[in-house]
């Protein structure tokens, strides 16, 4: 990574805490941060010791206020599409599809891309002072990282329209009321609350937890084909016929399948 401090990963036993580490800029996302978020997802997927992930922002001023306007405002239209929007979609989708459960600790404002990033989590815990918004229309742009897609699946089109078409901010109580967040922590304790949830998840059977997450995602219309193929492949690989098929291939003879 060019600057490992932009996305910080700390592992405590079976829980990995991933922190957006740009507090002086309210954790606004840059291309480098997107690249490091993608690398973090790959690292977490490959680490068999991790059973749950907490995603949070550094400092006490914000979770993430979205994309850094200074980074994308000068891009040409095609670069905006290829370098910024398409890349962000790919990386956020990868986080949403992470086999490990993700708990977001929303310690402050989650605006625009920050709210879209929080939406990739499976469980969201927010500080009482956290606020939420989709302000893109106020700067003549549109939600670009699935604010009009994943958020609709999460809270429904009416609530997303209320946010995106007005640009207004809502507080944690309102966010809880519409299902945008799952829990409001004690003041200044969103990280501790999120870690407690992740630690509870980590005590459960990891394969069952990860399969259950994939099933729920599939029921929501996300990755259904891949989930079915993965589970069918895993099931068929455990059968007597699968062992017979491999043996017949090695022994260069016809296979004798029994449907078991």
Angle, helix 224-237 to helix 206-219, in steps of 10 degrees: 140
- Cα→Cα distances 155→3, 109, 146, 151, 168, Å: 35, 18, 13, 6, 16
pLDDT, tens digit, 9 for 90 and up, residues 17-53: 999 999 999 999 998 999 999 999 999 999 999 999 9
pTM (2 d.p.): 0.88
pLDDT at 2: 45
pLDDT at 226: 66
pLDDT at 5: 87
What domains lie within the chain, and their CATH numbers? 7-202 (3.90.226.10), 206-251 (no CATH)
The catalytically annotated residue of 45, 60, 136, 183 is 136
Residue written as token pair 């989708």: 93
Active site residue 116: yes
pLDDT at 260: 80
pLDDT at 161: 97
Backbone angles phi, psi at 17, to 5 degrees: -105, 115
Instruction: Tell me the C-alpha distance between 231 and 211, whole Å.
Output: 9
Residues of the chain with pLDDT under 70: 1-4, 71-83, 222-232
pLDDT, tens digit, 9 for 90 and up, residues 140-163: 888 888 889 999 999 999 999 999
The catalytically annotated residue of 32, 45, 116, 199 is 116
Active site residue 229: no
Instruction: Tell me the three-class secondary structure of the chain, residue by residue.
Output: CCCCCCEEEEEECCEEEEEECCHHHCCCECHHHHHHHHHHHHHHHHCCCCCEEEEEECCCCCCECCECHHHHCCCCHHHHHHHHHHHHHHHHHHHHCCCCCEEEEECCCEECHHHHHHCCCCEEEECCCCEEECCHHHHCCCCCCCCCCHHHHHHCHHHHHHHHCCCCCEEHHHHHHCCCCCEECCCCCHHHHHHHHHHHHHCCCHHHHHHHHHHHHHHCCCCHHHHHHHHHHHHHHCCHHHHHHHHHHHHCCCCCCCCC
pLDDT at 94: 95
């Amino acid at each position: 990574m060019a600057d490992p401090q932009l996305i910080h990963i700390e592992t405590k036993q079976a829980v990995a805490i991933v922190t957006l580490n740009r507090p002086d800029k309210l954790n606004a996302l840059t291309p480098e941060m997107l690249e490091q978020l993608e690398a973090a997802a790959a690292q977490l997927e490959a680490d068999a010791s991790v059973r749950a992930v907490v995603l949070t922002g550094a400092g006490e001023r914000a979770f993430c206020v979205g994309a850094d306007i200074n980074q994308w405002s000068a891009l040409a239209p095609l670069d905006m599409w290829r370098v910024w929007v398409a890349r962000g979609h790919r990386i956020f989708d990868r986080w949403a599809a992470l086999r490990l459960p993700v708990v977001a600790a929303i310690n402050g404002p989650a605006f625009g891309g920050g709210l879209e990033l929080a939406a990739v989590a499976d469980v969201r815990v927010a500080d009482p002072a956290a606020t939420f918004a989709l302000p893109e229309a106020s700067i003549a742009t549109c939600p670009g990282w699935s604010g009009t897609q994943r958020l609709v699946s999460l809270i429904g089109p009416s609530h997303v329209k209320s946010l995106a078409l007005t640009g207004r901010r809502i507080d944690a109580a309102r966010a809880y009321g519409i299902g945008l967040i799952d829990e409001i922590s004690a003041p200044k304790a969103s990280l501790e609350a999120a870690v407690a949830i992740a630690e509870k998840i980590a005590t459960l059977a990891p394969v069952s937890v990860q399969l259950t997450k994939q099933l729920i995602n599939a029921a929501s219309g996300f990755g259904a084909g891949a989930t079915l193929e993965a589970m069918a492949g895993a099931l068929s690989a455990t059968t007597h016929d699968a062992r017979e098929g491999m043996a017949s291939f090695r022994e260069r003879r016809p296979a004798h399948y029994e449907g078991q």
